Amino acid sequence: MDTSPHLARAGWMSLLAQADPAELAAAMDGFAPPADAAWLRPAQTGLYMLRGRIGGSGAPFNLGEVTVTRCSVQAGGHIGHAWVRGSDPRHAELAALADAMLQDAQRHDALQAQLLAPLAAALDAKRDSASRKAAASKVEFFTVVRGE
């Protein structure tokens, strides 16, 4: 298994983007941002075009647009980026700030334990709940063979 820092960063950036904004804000309350934090790109909301392929191998087509908010911050000598679905600038700002702070070796372990682990558990619980709800509505079809 490749444990490069780039893959770890991609994992926590994904988790921060998918986290519930209120849970992210509550988890970040215990961590003060570095004093030298400066916004390189303030939160901006725009549209991305989603593309798809039929069967995963067909010709690409435009599926639709999705609203995305992005921002970048420099904090403690590290640059943090965030792209979150929706138009919540606070969610993007908190995710970018957390990304920058997670790159700092002195803060990383505390943030891993007190920020990422609870957010991952909440996201897993949300996915499990959605899976159970879908499974409850599952319909089984069968065919009865007659005669012979």
Residues in CB range of 114: below 8 A, 6 or more apart: 27, 30, 31
122: tokens are 């909440």
Residue 4's pLDDT is 64
Mean of the per-residue pLDDT values of the chain: 90
First to last CA, the chain: 56
Dist. CA 117–CA 68, nearest whole Å: 25
Among the residue ranges 1-10, 63-72, 83-92, the one predicted with the least confidence is 1-10
Average pLDDT for residues 26-52, to the nearest whole number?
Answer: 92
Percent of the chain, pLDDT > 70? 96
Dist. CA 5–CA 15, nearest whole Å: 15
pTM score over 0.85: no
Residue 56's pLDDT is 76
Q: What is the pLDDT of residues 74-102, one digit of tens each?
A: 998 999 999 999 999 999 999 999 999 99
Average pLDDT for residues 105-120, to the nearest whole number?
Answer: 92
Average pLDDT for residues 42-61, to the nearest whole number?
Answer: 91
15: tokens are 């988790």
pLDDT at 60 over 60: yes
Between 23 and 136, residue with greater pLDDT: 23
Tell which residue, 53, 107, 57, has the closest CA to residue 78.
107
Average pLDDT for residues 37-65, to the nearest whole number?
Answer: 92
Q: What is the Rg, in whole angstroms, of the alpha carbon atoms belonging to the chain?
A: 20
46 close to 86: Cβ distance less than 8 angstroms: no
Residue 7's pLDDT is 81
Could you tell me the pLDDT band of residue 138, with boundaries at 50, 70 and 90? confident
What ranges do the domains of the chain cover? 5-128
Dist. CA 59–CA 30, nearest whole Å: 48
